Each structure stands twice: as structure tokens, then as C-alpha cells.
Amino acid sequence: MADPIRFWFDFSSPYSYVASSWIESLAARHGRGVRWHAILLGATFQAADLKSPVAYPLKREYSMRDFERSARFHGVPYRTPARFPIPTQNAARVFWWLHDRDPAHGPAEAARFARHGLQVYWVHGLDLSEPATLRAVCRDFGLDPDACEAVWNDPAWKGRLKAANDEAIASGVFGAPFFMIDDEPFWGQDRAPQMERWLAEGGF
Amino acid sequence: MADPIRFWFDFSSPYSYVASSWIESLAARHGRGVRWHAILLGATFQAADLKSPVAYPLKREYSMRDFERSARFHGVPYRTPARFPIPTQNAARVFWWLHDRDPAHGPAEAARFARHGLQVYWVHGLDLSEPATLRAVCRDFGLDPDACEAVWNDPAWKGRLKAANDEAIASGVFGAPFFMIDDEPFWGQDRAPQMERWLAEGGF
């Protein structure tokens, strides 16, 4: 089987949420899996000297509209959260804890947790940066909230997320969603048509 | 007939060049015309406190690759010009001169000039910012090069371009290509699928 598509996302990225709705099926159509990577957009923006599109007033207005329209275009339920953007390091640390704790099933469970977290934030507006809320989100997912809270406060898992951010930056990631098909980088949920053709034709 | 799609472009914008290859046929499929607007990206970037994607080293590397790939994706000939980006105010002033000189046929002739200028820069690498080169480009298009040079040095046509930039900024334009279908804004050559559906369904 060909290498999985790498998919870098931030829980607080609306376009990552939209991409999370189609990436698995797109990959499966071409006999590929998906390797999910939770990162902090703030870290990649800083490394690339960039800022969020919503940090610029004129671009923000368009972007907020385009987030919603892009979700509708893909038939994905979407509601702008009351608080946006939010810091997502705690959720991302839980992701990497799930990812690493079992080499056989960890990555798939972490991906399920990612989809769960993206859903509850982008559909139900639950603020993942609030510890009490994130504990409830973890509980709903079937995890022990005390264990999860211990994870996000643990220097070891803080270091694991930092390593993931550093690895993303070293791979050329400067935004999210960001994808790599073999060595070909694709940035943005709007690159789906190019990715589909790249996979079908082995490049173009 | 429904209102034309408004299309803002800069001669130095590779994604504007790619969009110029499909915008007329996309509009025609839905019974629309296209109203072309030559602008200076530098002016809209400044108004929105933005910079070109190629002003950021990490993003630049990806963008240069994505420019070429997006052109291949649309089957458009493309060669990165030796000098890029370039200042395009002279070419844009000639555009507005053609546009305004005849209300009936001016906009269509200006659009043809726009396609000509985008082609010679993005396929043949001719530096439109060099007066001697731009004179030759104007001559090839069938214009009197002395008249064109007088236009781009004329304060009246400088003012006309400034008014076009100001109008773009007032309309919310912060990059190129930028489109408006009735009152719905679309930014980027990668919004073609959304625009196609918007036109087919009258919104979504």
C-alpha cells in the first residue's frame, strides 16, 4: 500500500475542519490512508513570520464568510463558535498521547479524537481551551478526564506537541490544513481537486 | 441579462493569469459577461495591511510551486518570469485608457489587452515594467506605442488607475484575482468550483 497522506491540522482552524470531512474518503478512493498531525497554527505562523487571516480586518470579514460558505459547499454542518480562535494546545496534547500510546491502533484513535474535537468545536461551539469543557469532551469520547488533564499538564506531552510543531515546520508546513502526498505539499482545503488528480494520475 | 461578474486582476499576479484562462467561459456558461478591473496588488495589500505570499520565505517556496502546479492543473502554459513580481502601473494605465475611450467597445478591448499582457508576461516572460518592452507589447497588440507611453505618463491616467484601486479597496478587494458575483465576493483562482455552483444555483 502506498504511503499515507500526511494531514496537519489545528483544532481551531475552520478550513482544517472542512478538510477533515473529506480527507479520509479522498485518500481511500486512491488506496491511501491518512496520517493526522495535530499542530498549533500559532507556532507555524510564527516560524514563517505569518499571521492568521482573521488578524487582518479586511481579510477577516471575507474569511469569516468564506469559512461558512466552504463548509456549505462541502455539505458540512458549521457554526462560527462564540469564541474564535482559541488556543488548542491541551486538545493537541491529548491527541499525541492517544497517538503514541499504542503503535498499532493509536494513530487511528487519535484521528477519531481529532474528528470528535473538531466537530464539537465547529458544530457545537464547545470551547476546547476551557479545561472543564475539554474534560467533558474527553469523557464523551470515552476517556478518563483526570488522565487527560494530567496529560495536558505533563511536560513530557508538552514536549511531544512541541516536537510535532517543529517537525511540521521542518517539513515546510506554514498553515493548516496542510497535506503531503509523498513529497508533494498541498496547502488549504481548496486544494482537494488538485490532490484528487495528483493521486489519480501520480502527479500532473 | 444578469450583471457581469467583476474580476479584479494585477498583471503581475500568477493566480490572476490562471483565472484569466477560465473566467470568460465560466461566466458564459451561466449567461454572464465579465467586467475586468486592472488594479495594483500593492495598493490593496497596503490598504489591508497585507503582503504578497512571496514576501515570506517559507510561503514563497510553496507558492512558486503552487503557481506552476495550478497552471498545469488548468492546462495553461506557464513559465516563471525572470523578474517577478514587477510593478505594473504602466500596463494598468493603458488598460484603463482603452477601457474608457469608447463606452461601447472599450471594456472588451481592455479585456483583450489584459489577456495579451498576462500572456506575454506569464508565458514569454516579457517585463511589462520596462518601458521599451511595454511599448513593443502595445505595438504587437495594434496600438501606437507613442500614444501608450503618453498615457502611462499622464497624470489623468495615473489618477484613473488610483481611482480604480480605491474603488477596489472600497469594494473589499484585498488580493487578486478577486471576483464579485452580484454582491458575493470570491477571492482566488481556487474558488472556481464555488463560483460555478453559485452561478448554477443562484447561491448555496
- Tell me the count of A-B CB pairs closer than 8 A: 65
Burial class of residue B36 (count of CB atoms within 10 Å of its CB; 0-12, 13-18, 19+): buried
Which residues of chain B have a CB within 8 Å of the CB of A190? 188, 190-191
Inter-chain CB proximity A58 and B174 less than 8 Å? yes
Between CA A113 and CA A152 the distance in angstroms is 15
How far from the centroid of its chain's Cα atoms is residue A74's Cα? 17
Q: What is the mean pLDDT of residues B156-182?
A: 96
Between CA B21 and CA A15 the distance in angstroms is 27
In this structure, which amino acid lies at residue B69? R
pLDDT attached to residue B36: 98
Inter-chain CB proximity A193 and B194 less than 8 Å? no
The edge-to-edge listing of strands for the beta sheet with A178-181 is A34-38, A5-9, A178-181, A184-187
Between CA B166 and CA A106 the distance in angstroms is 54
CB atoms within 10 A of CB B54: 16
Q: Chain A closest CA to B193's CA: distance in Å?
A: 9
Sort strands B178-181 and B184-187 into parallel, antiparallel or unpaired. antiparallel
pLDDT attached to residue A52: 86
Between CA B184 and CA B102 the distance in angstroms is 29
Q: Chain B closest CA to A201's CA: distance in Å?
A: 12
CB B49 within 8 A of CB B19: no
Grid coordinates representing A145 are 478526564
For B87-143, what is each residue's pLDDT tens digit?
999 999 999 999 999 999 999 999 999 999 999 999 999 999 999 999 999 999 999
More confident residue, B166 or B56: B166
Please report which confidence band the pLDDT of residue B81 belongs to, taking 50, 70 and 90 as the band edges: very high
Q: Chain A closest CA to B40's CA: distance in Å?
A: 17
pLDDT attached to residue B55: 84
Closest listed residue to residue B198, CA positions, set A39, B183, B188, B189 = B183
| Residue A49 forms contact with B (CB below 8 Å) | yes
What DSSP string describes B28-77?
HHTT--EEEEE--HHHHHHHHT---GGGSHHHHHHHHHHHHHHHHHTT--
Please report which confidence band the pLDDT of residue B195 belongs to, taking 50, 70 and 90 as the band edges: very high
B87: left (phi over 0), alpha (psi -120 to 50) or beta: beta
Which of the residue ranges A33-37, A66-70, A148-152, B48-52 would you say has the lowest mean pLDDT? B48-52
Between CA A168 and CA A175 the distance in angstroms is 10
Q: Chain A closest CA to B92's CA: distance in Å?
A: 24
CB atoms within 10 A of CB A25: 9
For A45-61, what is each residue's pLDDT tens digit?
888 888 888 888 889 99
pLDDT attached to residue B48: 80
Question: At residue A69, what are phi and psi to the nearest 5 degrees?
Answer: -65, -40
Is the per-residue pLDDT at B69 higher than 80? yes
Grid coordinates representing A137 are 469532551
Is the per-residue pLDDT at A1 higher than 80? no
Q: What's chain B's average pLDDT? A: 96
pLDDT attached to residue A94: 98
Which residues of chain B have a CB within 8 Å of the CB of A47? 58
Angle at the Cα of B102 from the Cα atoms of B100 and B107, rounded to 5 degrees: 60
Within 8 A by CB and 6+ apart from B163, the residues are none
Please report which confidence band the pLDDT of residue A184 belongs to, taking 50, 70 and 90 as the band edges: very high
Burial class of residue A85 (count of CB atoms within 10 Å of its CB; 0-12, 13-18, 19+): middle
Sort strands B5-9 and A178-181 into parallel, antiparallel or unpaired. unpaired
pLDDT attached to residue A26: 98
For A103-153, what is each residue's pLDDT tens digit?
999 999 999 999 999 999 999 999 999 999 999 999 999 999 999 999 999
Q: What is the mean pLDDT of residues B167-182?
A: 95
By C-alpha distance, the chain A residue nearest B48 is A58
Q: What is the mean pLDDT of residues B153-157?
A: 98
Between CA B149 and CA B88 the distance in angstroms is 13
